[in-house]
Amino acid sequence: MESVIQQKDKGLQEALLAYAWNGRVEDVRRYGSGHINDTYAVTTRSLQGVSFRYILQRINRSIFKKPKDVMENILKVTTFLKGRIAENGGDPNRETLTVCKSQQGLPYFEDSEGGFWRAFFFIEDTVCLQSVENPQQFFESARSFGNFMRLLGDYPAETLHETIPDFHNTPKRYQNLMRAVEADTQGRVASVEKELAFIREREEMCSHLTDLLKKGELPLRVTHNDTKLNNILLDVVTEQGICVIDLDTIMPGLAAYDFGDSIRFGAATALEDEPDHTKMHFDEKLYQTYLEGYLQGAGDVLTKQEIESLPWGAVLMTFECGMRFLTDYLEGDHYFRISRPEHNLDRTRTQMKLVWEMEKYFGMR
């Protein structure tokens, strides 16, 4: 990507001046494939001629309404992780993110236009994959997220901010969908009766995990809430998982949430927006691969009840995501980015196909 160092972006220019970089800024360019935040790689050169790289990001304030809470969570969790990693003989600067302080000593910077920025040290000699190319990569992803759960096993999850309220409140997602059905602002309900029938049949299961939490049968954990393969940095030589990134959605939650979202994304035979729904299947072998890696990484931190809840996480996170896609379709496609008229409806159908096959595999129906 071309350098944007001369780009007429006032907020970006202010952010570049806000940090005490190690040396003079030589290059700034857009980085990665994320579509939530604006991400840049900043290259500097010290007086001794040594190059350093940083990640500079402008947080999307339309999604993260309280960015200071986001950064407080990230700073607390990464500081805790550095201590645990050091105790285990690891490299704290490589195995978790390092938040850079602004020249004002803050873990963020607010520009004159209301933009909210943060910077991290760049973790060199790593790669970020967008899709599973072989089972070992999926295993490494699982082991990394399991290890992330293990390292944060005794962190007081209830002290973290809920940066997106009710993010994995499946019963509430169901209620939101029913409100969209009742309003029918786009006149689309008549065309999705089959999908709605499938969902209504499963209303009761929506509260399975939240009920277990309320009863105290599942412990509250620090959860990542976006456990896709592309949020793991792999070592370019060993291909082992090194670092969990994209911590914006760190919140209190359940282990089943993180596990389930990984399965929804990674143990599927097609993309979530595949128009030909016959191509979408639940890959049982990849599920077992991920389960093995996750349990290996988590060690003995998970309770027996948590391990038993993992299949429910796979089903409910997939079901919940499908309901969110359908809600957005009925409301006029205002949340998820679309590139064709029935984009969100295709997404809904692939998720429900996965739910149906998962239920059969786990013997839930």
The domains found in the chain, sorted by start residue, are 10-122 (3.30.200.20), 135-362 (3.90.1200.10)
At residue 281, the pLDDT reads: 97
Other residues' Cβ atoms within 10 Å of the Cβ of residue 129: 17
Element (H, E) at 312: helix 304-331
pLDDT for residue 8 = 72
Predicted TM-score (pTM) of this structure: 0.90
Distance CA 364, CA 282 (A): 15
pLDDT of 128: 87
Q: Report yes or no: 149 and 239 within 8 Å, Cβ to Cβ.
A: no
CA 10 to chain CA centroid, Å, is 29
- Would you state the pLDDT for residue 1? 52
Q: Residue 111 to residues 11, 16, 21, 102, 175: CA-CA distances in angstroms?
A: 6, 10, 17, 12, 38
Q: Rounded CA gap, 65 and 191, in Å?
A: 34
CA distances from 53 to 31, 40, 100, 115, 122 (A): 12, 10, 12, 22, 5
pLDDT score of 295: 98
Is residue 160 within 8 Å of residue 152, measured between CB atoms? no
pLDDT at 317: 97
Would you state the structure tokens that stand for residue 122, as one six-digit string?
């760049």
Please tell me the distance from the alpha carbon of residue 120 to that of residue 117, in angstroms, as a whole number. 11
- pLDDT averaged over consecutive 10-residue blocks of the chain (365 residues)? 68 94 92 82 92 95 92 97 96 96 95 96 91 86 96 96 90 97 98 98 97 96 92 92 94 96 93 94 96 97 97 98 97 91 96 98 92
User: Are the C-beta atoms of residues 220 and 210 closer than 8 Å to each other?
Assistant: no
Q: Which pLDDT score is estimated for 193?
A: 97
Among all chains, which residue has been given the structure tokens 């599927």?
A: 268
Sign of the CA dihedral running 190, 192, 198, 203: negative
